[in-house]
Every structure is written in structure tokens, then in C-alpha cells.
Structure 1
């Protein structure tokens, strides 16, 4: 049987003048590896500086956009105020249908007052919540019947197709699916040319912290996918013609809504 060489035997042979293969080149190999590694690190840092700068720039842009977007909502901005921003583009999309409008939602007195100042425009409003702090102008609109205080979980107090266009903002976000199943058909019933929904994005707040005392529950902000699925289940169709016209008009001015806007057809 062969015997394994021991450490003592290996040392003896080395002492007799034998050498281990490559042993003499180890210091030079180590120095070469160190230099190669240094060159690779320097090259990586140099070539990656542009990518790092791009990343930082994109990160900075994203942070600024997020900050600007959050500021618009922490300031108490609502989808009702967003309606005023979208009004010029709605006119382009709907034309003559903007002449007889019903607005449904909080602060409807302000919306109706502004719409009545538009040329050849008739406007009415439904305030879904009690108006404890209404001003004199709003009380005047209520006395004249131009604005009504009415719970939208129940049938709207109007005949079918009473208005060419119905616009609802900041109201449906506070309704459960149970009541949405009743309210959406009503919005479609009283409109002849369609209705428009302004709704907040998920994760965003459109009202101040006192909303619970006024609306009875916090807003349930839903995704566009959720809304579209709900429209399909309710057999409510999107108005593709109005959508294209609105997008074309708003794109020319680089307008981007801070709220979700849905253009829907009336019931035939």
C-alpha cells in the first residue's frame, strides 16, 4: 500500500532543493490581481457615474412631483374645485349639452352660481348634505328651487331626461356599493346626453378631517378598475366619443386632472 506524504516529508524534499509548481510566481500573481481589481473598480465607478446621476435626477423629479401632488390635496382641494379647472375642456367635449346642467355634490351652490354666469347656460344643483352654514346667496338659490337639499341615496326629485348633462363630484365617494346601485341609475335617468363623475384617486384625501361629522363616514376612494367593473355590472356604458373629445381638448393645454373623470352615457 502507498503511504501518504507527511508534512515532514514535504519539508525535507523542499529542503533538498525541490520546488512546488508556481510557487515562485505567487507574489507577482498577487500583485497583478490587486492591480487588475483596482482598474476594474475605477472603471466601474467612472462608467456608473452617469447612471447614478440619472437615478438621482429621476428620484428628485419623482419626489418633486409627489410633493406638488400632495400639497394640492393637503391644502383641502376637492374634485368639485377640479371641475372648474376641467370646465373649458368639458365645453369642447359636450358642446350644446353644456347648456342645461344639473350638478350633484357638496358646494353645489358655488358650482351653480358659476355656471349661471356662463352664456346660454341653465344650471340646477342637488346638495346631498345638510347646509347648516349656507350663505345668503346659497339660501336664495334654495328658496327659488334652483338648488335642492336631497339625499341621493333615494330617487332624485326630477323627471326623466330633465337635464342634458349631469355632473357629480365628491358625492359618490361616500356611498357604499349598495347605494351606488340606486344612485347611478338615477343620474343616468335624469340626463338626456350623459353624466360625468369626478372621483378621487385611491390613497388621496379630498376633504379635511372634519368630513366624518358632515358626511357620516370617511370617503372610500376607489380605483378606475373598480369603477369600470361597477359600470359594467350596472350596465352603464362609457361615452367613448366624449372621452376622446375631452382628451384631445385637454391635451392641447397639457391639462391633467388631479381627480378621476368618467364620462358615461344615459339610459336609452
Structure 2
């Protein structure tokens, strides 16, 4: 299970609270369905569909308070976006895999699909809060309604989805949103060089870098030094921040940044964040304040 933490509401109107993980209403699907590989993130190997040895009979983690110390930091950065409780309580009607083992395999497979659908719902919901993207709000609402409808399908229908096609359609729409949001800081030749989509920036020295409005979608920023970097209005969807140093960086106004990306990084009280996100508990001690919105 992920570390419990208090977050600000993701969207101003308080909507889509069901996109927050509610472990109390889930049958610990994240502790069973995925495979673990012994690494810096996981202390053991665990095949998909097999319960983690730390999982108790009440579906709670036996080492929850010490996951990082015990070598399970990968568990602390996992976010199901509320897919766990949706599969447990809606798709399978509260029937858990231990009491109904015949459902186990299908439930675990559906969880993987549902997590991706809920992740798309999260990004679409965020996009609907971005004022520069107002020309696309109609399309965004249609896409969100369609994905929400899919999450209510039967297990068989969910497993039969062309998930890649749905992801591509949403990705294309979100890229158009990104272009609108970042338009005010793009235009010059210098700014056009900020298109670093999918770039290999592993271990890069980006201290104090001006990355305002940069396209860092899917960029590999593992271990990068981003101390004091300006990431305002940057598109950070899918960027890999594992062990990246964000101390003193300004991420206010950045778009499509999610909590698990921060949980995988390093930072401190001086790291400025969007209002929907919080400083992880393992970051440098001090007042963990939420960064102001750009232009506020």
C-alpha cells in the first residue's frame, strides 16, 4: 500500500475525489496484482497475482510504517488513482478475491486496466481546470464522460478494451491542452529548444535551469540535479523524477504533475508545488508548504 498522506483537493470544485486511493475500500490489489523485481525499489521478487508476504489477512500491510527502511520504496510511490476501490466495490460488487478465489485472476487483470482508465480521468479532470484550455473544454468533457462510462463496464468488457487506442486519443487531446497552456512562454528560438519530450536527461546538471513552459513529457530525469530550476508551466506528464533533486525548484503552475512523481524525487521545504500536491514526508524536514499558483 502507498504511504498515507494528506493532500490538497486536486480540483478547485472538489470533484473527482474518487480518483484518490481509498485503501480501506480496496482488497489490497496493488499488493497482489503487480509483479515486483528485486531492485532498489523492492527488496524481493514477487510474481504477478501473488500476494506480497507482508500482506496481512485484513488486507493491510504488515510493514506499512517502515516500507522505505525495509527496501520497499516502490510501494510508497505507487498510485492507483482510485482504481483499487472501483474494482473492489463496483466492478466486483464487494466480493474479495480471498473469499471468492475464482474471481482472483480476472480481478487482478481488470485492476491493471482500471488503473490506466483512472489515470486518464485524472489528467482530463486537471485539464478542465486550466483556463488557457477553455477552447478545448467541450472535447475534454466528452472524453472524460466516455472514459468514465468505460470504467463502469463489466469485467469482460474492460478486458476486451482497445486500451492503447483510448490512451492515444486522450494523449493527443492533452498535448493540444499543453500547447495552449505553454503558449505564453514559447515562441522564441530559445524557447523552442525547450521541447525535451522523451529526452534522456538522466543525471543531468540542470541547476537553476530556465525550464518555464518546457515540454518534458516522458523525459528521463532520473537522478537529475534540478535544484533551483524554474519549471513553471512545464508539461511534466510521465516525466521520471526518480531520485531527482528538486530542492528549491519552482513547479508552481506546472501541468500534469502527479504526487507519485514527487514521492519518487528528493526535495525540501523550499520546493514550490502546485496547490493540489504536497511535500512528501520523506523530504528534508521543515515547513512543507504548498506553492502558490502562478499569477495568484
TM bucket (normalised to shorter chain) is under 0.3
Given the two structures, how large is their TM-score scaled by the length of structure 2? 0.26
Higher Cα Rg: structure 1 or 2?
1
What TM-score does the superposition give when structure 1 sets the normalisation length?
A: 0.28
Task: Return the structure number with greater strand share.
Answer: 1
Larger RCO (alpha carbons 8 Å, 6+ apart)? 1
